[in-house]
Structure 1
Amino acid sequence: MKLAILSRNAKLYSTTSLVAAARKRGHRVRVLDPLRCYMRIEPGKFLMRYKSKPLNGIDAVIPRIGNSITFYGTAVLRQFEMMGVYTPNSSDAVLRARDKLRSLQLLARENIGLPTTVFGDNPDDTADLLALLGDAPHVIKLNEGAQGQGVLLAEKRSASQGMIEAFRGLYANFLVQEYIKEAKGADIRCFVVGGKVVAAMQRQAREGEFRSNLHRGGIATVADLDPAEIDTAVRAAHTMQLDIAGVDLLRSKRGPLVLEVNSSPGLEGIEGTTGVDIAGAIIEYIERRVHRRQARRR
């Protein structure tokens, strides 16, 4: 199998792990910087070039597209799809997951648990918007933030109002959510591959911090999931149409709540914590899917 990984940095842990896992299974693999890919589009013909050379014969592509290049990265991924290349996470699925508001709407439609969320645009509606949500504390999130960036905790309603006014002054899109106190600053990252949870870790926020992201100093331990948590993680990934996903859950009094579904989840923290060869599981899954596609074409 000839495999391509779309990644801006070939030295990142997640990228190097996937490369090593692919080569271990005897596959040819290339890391492509999506910003160096360019394309020609005409009726019935889709061409891709990379650093002045054509890209042909690729069987599968794994997108590792960062938030800052979502637009161009998904355009490159879409071109590969048009060329008949398999990807576990389609360009549409990546875009769907990057939009927190859209993600929550889709999850809510499927009756998947999530923190109560409000969203509005007009400053005149702020008081009623917060009344719809209920008493503080409130969590205020930028719609396209990542790794805990653009996430704030407002302890009082007046603080919520002030933060909302500040975000509106920056013309930022944001959500306001209920704060799940009983989670005690911890969340669970479930790594889903092909409709199965292959690994899970609990991330605990450091003292004085409510964000549990490892990039924010959170501490990770192996998580034991109950059936409801496994089912929620799998359903959330399926709803977002992602075959590879990091699903972040909160444990609440009313059951597991989905915080976010990540289309390019990092491998370093969860592989190091759980000891699970997630990169190997990803390559094995892609291998099965590509072989199935090839068999259908014969």
Structure 2
Amino acid sequence: MKLAILSRNTKLYSTRRLVEAAREHGHSVRVLDPLRCYMRIASDSFEMHYKGREIHGYDAVIPRIGASVTRYGSAVLRQFELMGSFTPNTSDAILRARDKLRSHQLLAAESIGMPATVFGDNPDDTNDLLSMLGPPPHVIKLNEGTQGAGVMLTEKLSASRGVIEALRGLYAQFLVQEFVAEAKGADLRCFVVGNKVVAAMKRQAPDGDFRSNLHRGGTAKGIKASAAEQDVAVRAAQVLGLGIAGVDLIRSDRGPLVLEVNASPGLEGIEQASGVDIAGAIIQHVAGRRKRGRNARRVVARA
């Protein structure tokens, strides 16, 4: 298999592990900076160039597109798709996952549990908006924040109103959610590859914080997610169309609740916590899906 990994940095742990795993399984692999890819779009052909040379013939592409380059990176990935490359996470799926409001609406439509969420635009509606959610504490999240950045906890109604007014003054898009106290500052990251959870870890927020992200000082240990948690994680990834996803859950009195579905989940923390070769699982999944897709096209052609 001729494989491309879209990543801005070859030295990142996740990128390095995917390259190592691809080579260990006998595949040809190249890391491409999506911002150095540029394309020609015409009714008769799709063309891609990279650093002055045409590139083509990639059987599969694994996107590691950061939030800051979502728009251009997804356009590059879509061009690869139109040129016949398989990807476990399509450009449209990545865009769905990156938009927290859109992804919450899609998950709720499939009856997947999540914290109650409200969203509004007009300052005149703030009081009624918060009354729809219920009493504080409230969790306020920027719509496109990552790694715990742009997530705030307000413990008083006046604080919620103040943060909302400040964010609106900055023309920021945000969601307000209920705070699930029984989670006690912990969440679960379930790493979904294909139709199963290949690894899971429990993350605990540091003292004085409610965010359990490892980038925010949280700690992690490998665990085995329950059958219900695995089912919710796989369903959430499938609803958004992701073949590879990091699904963040919290344990609540009403069952597992989805906090977020990450389309480019990091490998370092969860591989170290779980001891699972996740990079290898990803490469095997991509190679298997690509092979099945090629065989299916041959069957159709013969028919």
**TM class by smaller structure:** over 0.9
> What is aligned with 1:243?
243
Tell me, in whole angstroms, the C-alpha distance in 1 between the residues paired with 2:104 and 2:7.
Answer: 27
Query: What SS does structure 2 have at the residue aligned with 1:8?
Result: coil
Tell me, in whole angstroms, the C-alpha distance in 1 between the residues paired with 2:230 and 2:125.
Answer: 38
Tell me, in whole angstroms, the C-alpha distance in 1 between the residues paired with 2:3 and 2:151.
Answer: 36
> What is aligned with 2:141?
141
Report Cα offsets for 1:8-39 as digits up to 9, x if no partner. Answer: 00000000000000000110000000000000
Tell me, in whole angstroms, the C-alpha distance in 2 between the residues paired with 1:220 and 1:283.
Answer: 25
> What is aligned with 1:42?
42
> What is aligned with 1:153?
153
In the alignment, residue 126 of structure 2 is paired with which amino acid?
T
In the alignment, residue 71 of structure 1 is paired with which amino acid?
R
Contact 2:13 2:268 in 1 (8 A): yes
> What is aligned with 2:75?
75
Matches within 5 A, 1:75-224: 75-224=75-224
Are 1:267 and 2:263 matched, yes or no?
no
In the alignment, residue 17 of structure 2 is paired with which amino acid?
S
Report Cα offsets for 1:223-278 as digits up to 9, x if no partner. Answer: 22111111100100010110000000000000000000000000000000000000
Tell me, in whole angstroms, the C-alpha distance in 2 between the residues paired with 1:67 and 1:131.
Answer: 32
Q: Report runs of 4+ in structure 1 exceeding 2 Å deviation.
A: none
Tell me, in whole angstroms, the C-alpha distance in 2 between the residues paired with 1:62 and 1:205.
Answer: 30
Are 1:25 and 2:25 matched, yes or no?
yes
In the alignment, residue 22 of structure 1 is paired with which amino acid?
A
In the alignment, residue 158 of structure 2 is paired with which amino acid?
S
Contact 2:199 2:224 in 1 (8 A): no
Tell me, in whole angstroms, the C-alpha distance in 1 between the residues paired with 2:294 and 2:43.
Answer: 25
How much does 1:292 deviate? 1.2
Tell me, in whole angstroms, the C-alpha distance in 2 between the residues paired with 1:108 and 1:179.
Answer: 18
Aligned pairs, how many? Answer: 298
Query: What SS does structure 2 have at the residue aligned with 1:3?
Result: strand
Contact 2:191 2:200 in 1 (8 A): yes
In the alignment, residue 295 of structure 2 is paired with which amino acid?
A
Tell me, in whole angstroms, the C-alpha distance in 2 between the residues paired with 1:294 and 1:234.
Answer: 25
Tell me, in whole angstroms, the C-alpha distance in 2 between the residues paired with 1:138 and 1:23.
Answer: 47
Contact 2:182 2:251 in 1 (8 A): yes
How much does 1:297 deviate? 3.4
Tell me, in whole angstroms, the C-alpha distance in 1 between the residues paired with 2:135 and 2:44.
Answer: 56
Which runs of no fewer than 5 residues in structure 2 stay unpaired? 299-303
In the alignment, residue 218 of structure 2 is paired with which amino acid?
G
How much does 1:195 deviate? 1.1
Q: Normalised by the size of structure 1, how large is the TM-score?
A: 0.99
In the alignment, residue 256 of structure 1 is paired with which amino acid?
P
Coordinate RMSD, CA, aligned:
0.6
Tell me, in whole angstroms, the C-alpha distance in 1 between the residues paired with 2:83 and 2:27.
Answer: 20
Query: What SS does structure 2 have at the residue aligned with 1:77?
Result: helix
Tell me, in whole angstroms, the C-alpha distance in 2 between the residues paired with 1:206 and 1:189.
Answer: 17
Tell me, in whole angstroms, the C-alpha distance in 2 between the residues paired with 1:44 and 1:3.
Answer: 25
Query: What SS does structure 2 have at the residue aligned with 1:70?
Result: helix
> What is aligned with 1:285?
285
